[in-house]
Structure 1
């Protein structure tokens, strides 16, 4: 397992994935700060008002796209030059291969979350928000990261099956709008993209009750296991189309 993870990190060396991890959070934060700056008369709740602006674009749109990009990126090399054939013919267990990719994507998203939170704190200082920094936002960020893993498990399965780099990203964008609709209809706990909206506190900053937190954790865990099992089964029993 450790060798599989090391191999995944070696593939990311000398790539521009770090630039992607930085650009999307920066872009979303700039949009949110722009809205916050020009609507400060109506946004009077300090850090929480700033969070509503920056997390809306990041958690609802840019983060799911970032997850899809990372998943497509870690499968990019295998799709080139029929490398899937060599990988699947190696003695490495299929489960370890998928788990290593999921673990790698999870760490990349965790780094993006940490970078986003540091920029959020910096933006609050630049806006001279005098209130104490709300630790609830850290909890929301970590919950969003956990929800991201369930999305990553799904996106990895798509990226493994689909040779195109852009197609899984387009599917993720469509799923974002489906997740938003299910959230509005109060079915958010039944779809991983809606769980990301709930976890990040994007549209509602009300805290989850202990029971709701338990259901949130259970549903994310179930999606991770479900999509992980599907992806591993695809690798074991389905032919991978490679160029």
Structure 2
């Protein structure tokens, strides 16, 4: 059943306007980060690391959460139309399978987004910053670690998009969550808010590794928030019934 649900969710992406968002938003984020780096060369001396701080600052705080929110809201859009919730509740499919299927599809989109962003980062470093070498492997690992932290953001946005019928409100809440995450992260509370995890994982706006020696805690926090979102979704779907 889960495999069929995933296939159904994937079909929603065919010729979807989501792909325009996928290509354009990271371009805007990368352009802004590169411009900011080139305008501050007198204080940014660590080349690839400095460029990384500028690329990841607004990407992890605003652009990525907003994109994930749009992905999630788009996938829940059909279920919120008309009486489609009745079809879901009456279908011979465990409701949590529907949530898990959407999670898998949004995670796939988020993974593609991360790869696209990293590609733009390298391209900007070579073409505009004119770095003669290639980025340190550590930065690629930061990107992979950020993807792990993004799991909690994906689950949180799917939960919000499931509960809220509006398309725009979950996106607004994602931006708020990202900003709050940046504020909490600056105070050292990166593991206590789901939107902090992606920022901390990517080492956003930092040259030194802020998670050095905290790999286990980071993984545990990511697992906790992910589980919390799934349990909440399960309880809400379990109590939801067919409505007239």
Shorter-chain TM-score: what band?
Answer: over 0.9
Measured after TM superposition, the shift of residue 199 of structure 1 is 0.6
Q: Map 1:134-173 onto structure 2 (within 5 A).
A: 134-173=136-175
Counterpart-to-counterpart distance in 1, 2:227 and 2:202? 21
SS of corresponding position for 1:13:
coil
Note if contact 2:44-2:50 (Cα within 8 Å) is conserved in structure 1: yes
Counterpart-to-counterpart distance in 2, 1:52 and 1:240? 48
Note if contact 1:161-1:241 (Cα within 8 Å) is conserved in structure 2: no
TM-score (norm 2): 0.94
Residue of structure 2 equivalent to 1:177: 179
Measured after TM superposition, the shift of residue 241 of structure 1 is 8.2
Matched, 1:35 2:42: no
Counterpart-to-counterpart distance in 2, 1:69 and 1:169? 6
CA displacement, residues 91-110 of structure 1 (integer Å, 9 cap, x when unaligned): 01112111101011000000
SS of corresponding position for 2:143:
helix
The equivalent position to 2:212 in structure 1, one of 193, 209, 216, is: 209
Counterpart-to-counterpart distance in 2, 1:16 and 1:123? 26
Counterpart-to-counterpart distance in 1, 2:101 and 2:66? 21
Number of residues of Structure 1 aligned to a counterpart in Structure 2 = 241
Note if contact 2:33-2:54 (Cα within 8 Å) is conserved in structure 1: yes
Counterpart-to-counterpart distance in 2, 1:49 and 1:205? 7
Measured after TM superposition, the shift of residue 70 of structure 1 is 0.9
Counterpart-to-counterpart distance in 2, 1:161 and 1:132? 44
Note if contact 1:36-1:53 (Cα within 8 Å) is conserved in structure 2: yes
Measured after TM superposition, the shift of residue 181 of structure 1 is 2.1
SS of corresponding position for 2:81:
helix
Gaps of 5+ in 2: none
Structure 1 residues 160, 241: CA separation in 2 closer, same or farther (over 3 Å shift)? farther
Measured after TM superposition, the shift of residue 235 of structure 1 is 1.4
Residue of structure 1 equivalent to 2:134: 132
Counterpart-to-counterpart distance in 1, 2:31 and 2:159? 32
Counterpart-to-counterpart distance in 2, 1:156 and 1:125? 36
Counterpart-to-counterpart distance in 2, 1:141 and 1:17? 22
Gaps of 5+ in 1: none
Measured after TM superposition, the shift of residue 156 of structure 1 is 0.8
Counterpart-to-counterpart distance in 1, 2:62 and 2:243? 29
Residue of structure 2 equivalent to 1:5: 6
Counterpart-to-counterpart distance in 2, 1:79 and 1:173? 22
Counterpart-to-counterpart distance in 2, 1:194 and 1:165? 23
Question: Cα RMSD (Å) of the superposition?
Answer: 1.6
Residue of structure 2 equivalent to 1:47: 48
Counterpart-to-counterpart distance in 2, 1:50 and 1:183? 20
TM-score (norm 1): 0.94
Residue of structure 2 equivalent to 1:24: 25
Note if contact 1:143-1:199 (Cα within 8 Å) is conserved in structure 2: yes
Note if contact 2:149-2:197 (Cα within 8 Å) is conserved in structure 1: yes
Residue of structure 2 equivalent to 1:84: 85
Structure 1 residues 91, 113: CA separation in 2 closer, same or farther (over 3 Å shift)? same
